[in-house]
Chain A
């Protein structure tokens, strides 16, 4: 058995960004099949245009249309593309100085092998079939065929009047997520129907879930403690507001439950009782899902339900609020 529990996790979210007048102008051009550069105070023509001039720090207002044909000024081979790169087969990234520009643009170059690339080679833009106003409207660069006229390729005119004002950049990252050894103890316990904590050897506090170090004094937690399945509601809230991803129909109660023997409460649901009857000090016990549904998750405990016992004295949990 490996020391820690591990599982794949994907973190994904879309950034919605406003483009402003400079990048918006560049993206509007790409959507219409035109590459727009920006002229700097020193006479450079930079693609994509810089939002502010590097010399004067003034906003860029001098835009220049440049060619969709250019020259490779540097390149590197990508033998093992990563997810979301322009190609999933090996390709080159290249810096290409388009005719009419003085600074290069970074983009992919679609060639079969490194033998097919040289610094100084002539390339042209291959436009994406559908263009939306984003850097990916340029599908890639491709070599000019021998003898091919070095004229920009014809692009179907776009019917847009509106300038591009925003762009959505999707981000999705894959991880192999490892729990700490202490968290692994906790999740393995849950998979066996047990609730495990650990005791700090310095201050004797029992943490659940166990953590790698006591947050109070920094000592590594050591001794494993199996906790009671019964505890006390220390505080709670009644959820009345619907939200995305909600699994239970409101109103319902989310509460801190201080398990007997623990020094920190766990957050869980209180069900099996009308929401308005839940109170501080109420004694509750864990209600587990059927055993064949157990995984390495706190969701193995479906909810906590009242035991029917008399409420706990405030003094028994006042230091754990």
Chain B
């Protein structure tokens, strides 16, 4: 395995982006930040990969127009995933492992506010017996939250504690669209929204974009004194149907975590768009009580579709760059109720790279 590090990160998150759903005008300044962080030009980037969805954009091939933000003369080595930035990063990591390229810039974008997000996402469900009912994202998460409450695994207070900690931590995050903690009792006094979920239990609809820069070996060392080396990466998927899963669990998250060495993780950025999902992930990943969870505020503070998982990687990598932490974990999810999960570890030193579990 080649040593590969995250060496650049830029993000934008907002409640409503008033530009086009191709987000080109958002991506141009993000790439500029990445060039400034690395000292590169676009010609130093060996591979480009983006994550987005045309269902979110309401137009076909939106990812093709987004390529304008790169500038493609001379031609570039480019790919796209209909998934989150974290999976685009995974593709780039594999590309670098092949030895074909040494550097990559991966980006993702999405204008969730263009349509009705919780409805649009019904199109990622099983199309015969689920999509025709249009079960919305919030409802599916509500079914999952209730399952755990009824089983005595968590309660509304535990969920409010997650929300309060997230919103308090988000006060330090300039990109967070929802921030400002109060108290658990105050949150519990707020009205139910989609019983058993209150609004603060659900990630806010968020527009945005983000970019990560990867580099191998000495290319990474040229960019940063303390690159965030990707020491492990793994992802698994659970069945799509809600009936055949134990909704209190996320076996795919557990398996992804088990493929990696999580000992000594100091900070974990978990992509949990609903408060109870953080509780499931903590348990499935076996994170100790002293691990700092989502110091960025996490997805409850802002959850730009197709970027939010990759933003967890960027936020975690920054803890390594700054010297605050020596080993961190980042997690991204996709699909209904934590169906798909990607976990990676980043560290200040390059011990043997593990994983690539599928």
State the A residues within 8 Å of B (CB): 2-4, 6, 9, 11, 15, 17, 19, 23, 26-27, 46-48, 50, 54, 73-79, 82-86, 93-95, 103-108, 114, 119, 134-136, 167, 169, 171, 173-183, 211-220
Contact = CB atoms under 8 A, between A and B. Distances in A.
A269 B348 CA distance: 61
Contacts of B145: 76
A106 B20 contact: no
Interface string B125-154: 001111111111011111111110010000
A180 B22 contact: yes
A48 B119 contact: no
B136 A106 contact: no
Contact of B143 (A74, A85, A176, A216): A74
Contacts of B94: none
Contact of B68 (A19, A46, A212): A212
Given A173-B115, A177-B58, A177-B114, A215 B19 contact: no
A93 B70 contact: no
Nearest to B119: A82
Interface of B: 18-22, 24-25, 27-28, 31, 42, 55, 58-59, 65, 67-73, 111, 113-116, 118-120, 123, 127-136, 138-147, 150, 192-197, 239, 241-244, 247
Contact of B20 (A77, A86, A178, A217): A178
Contacts of A106: 129-130, 133, 135, 143, 241-243
A9 B57 CA distance: 11
Given A17-B128, A83-B134, A218-B70, A46 B243 contact: yes
Contacts of B242: 95, 104, 106
A176 B114 contact: yes
Interface of chain A: mostly helix, strand, loop or mixed:
mixed
Contacts of A179: 20
A220 B244 contact: no
B132 A74 contact: no
A126 B127 CA distance: 22
A218 B71 contact: yes
5 contacts: A78-B139, A78-B194, A95-B243, A106-B242, A176-B113
Contacts of B116: 82-83, 174
B133 A136 contact: yes
Nearest to B113: A176
Which of B55, B133, B192 has the most CB atoms of chain A within a 10 A radius of its CB? B133
Contacts of B146: 74-76, 119
For the complex of A and B, list the 3 residue pairs with the smallest distance between their C-beta atoms, beginning with the closest: A76-B142, A218-B71, A175-B58
Given A75-B143, A93-B139, A213-B68, A218 B42 contact: yes
A46 B244 contact: yes
A4 B58 contact: no
Which of A2, A74, A136 has the most CB atoms of chain B within a 10 A radius of its CB? A74
Contact of A82 (B132, B134, B195, B244): B134
Contacts of A2: 18
Contact of A180 (B19, B58, B123, B243): B19
A245 B24 CA distance: 31
A47 B243 contact: yes
Nearest to A10: B58
B132 A212 contact: no
B192 A77 contact: yes
A35 to B, nearest CB: 12
B61 to A, nearest CB: 13
A114 B195 CA distance: 7
Contact of B55 (A4, A173, A176): A173
B107 to A, nearest CB: 12
A93 B135 contact: yes
Contact of A135 (B128, B194, B197, B247): B128
Given A106-B243, A214-B71, A77 B195 contact: yes
Contact of B18 (A4, A23, A78, A93): A4
